[in-house]
Amino acid sequence: MKIFGASGHGKVVNAIATDNGIVVEGFIDDNYQKDTYLGLPICKIQDFDEIIIGIGDNSIRKKLADKYKNQWHKAIIHSRAIVSLQDEIGFGTVIMPNAVVNESISIGNHCIINTSAVVEHDCIIKDFVHISPNATLSGGVSVDVGTHIGAGAVVIPGIKIGRWCTIGAGAVIIKDVPDYAVVVGNPGRIIKFKEID
């Protein structure tokens, strides 16, 4: 398996893969100038490679996923994350240490469930979503494609969050959020809309 992205998030993905006993052959990163990262080679992508994208930016993960189809490694889950066996988790998704992903949850492809995030029962998380460290999704929350939930944000039960939104660090979301909205504060308020995916 190879990891896209010789950077901070790639480093964490490498640690989780290694913890899972997955052999990481190297990193792929056109923007990285050295020959090695963390003692592993910087490689070219090849047709037969299995890859995980170790890049935190949701839109970059989507661009890479669209470009290199059918090469994605199954989800990797840290041994100290708690994930229900009933959950559906898509390929390329990474679940970090101490995350809790409770019963009857669906998580799409190329998502990040970051350190100590809590995803409660019956949540639906679509592709390319990032749930940041210590964020809490209460029961039955849905998060549409590409949305970033910031560190420590809290979403009350049953809320629907649209596609490509950004929920600011520490926000408390008590109402549904429309597509592309950037929301901050407690209670969450929209400060702007993003223009593109």
Ligand X SMILES: CC(=O)SCCNC(=O)CCNC(=O)[C@H](O)C(C)(C)COP(=O)(O)OP(=O)(O)OC[C@H]1O[C@@H](n2cnc3c(N)ncnc32)[C@H](O)[C@@H]1OP(=O)(O)O
Query: Got the DSSP string for 164-177?
Result: T-EEPTT-EE-S-B
Sign of the Cα torsion 38, 146, 94, 168 reads positive
Work out how close the CB of 136 gets to ligand X at its nearest, in angstroms, rounded to a whole number: 13
Q: Would you count residue 188 as binding ligand X (CB under 6 A)? A: no
Give the residue from 173, 175, 182, 181 showing the smallest Cα distance to 154: 173
Provide, rounded to whole angstroms, the least separation between the CB of residue 149 and ligand X. Answer: 8
Closest to ligand X by CB, 50 vs 170, is: 170
The catalytic position among 9, 78, 110, 121 is 121
Whether 64 and 4 have beta carbons less than 8 Å apart is answered as: yes
Please tell me the count of residues contacting ligand X according to CB under 6 A: 13
Specify whether the CB–CB gap between 155 and 138 falls below 8 A.
Answer: yes
Does residue number 150 form part of the binding site for ligand X (CB under 6 A)?
Answer: yes
Between the alpha carbon of residue 119 and those of residues 15, 42, 56, 140, the distances in Å are: 22, 34, 19, 9
Query: Binders of ligand X among 56-115, rule CB under 6 A?
Result: 114
Active-site residue flag, 148: no
Query: Minimum distance from CB of 47 to ligand X (Å)?
Result: 32
Residues recognised as catalytic: 121
Residues that bind ligand X (CB under 6 A): 114, 132-133, 150-151, 166, 168-170, 182, 184-185, 191
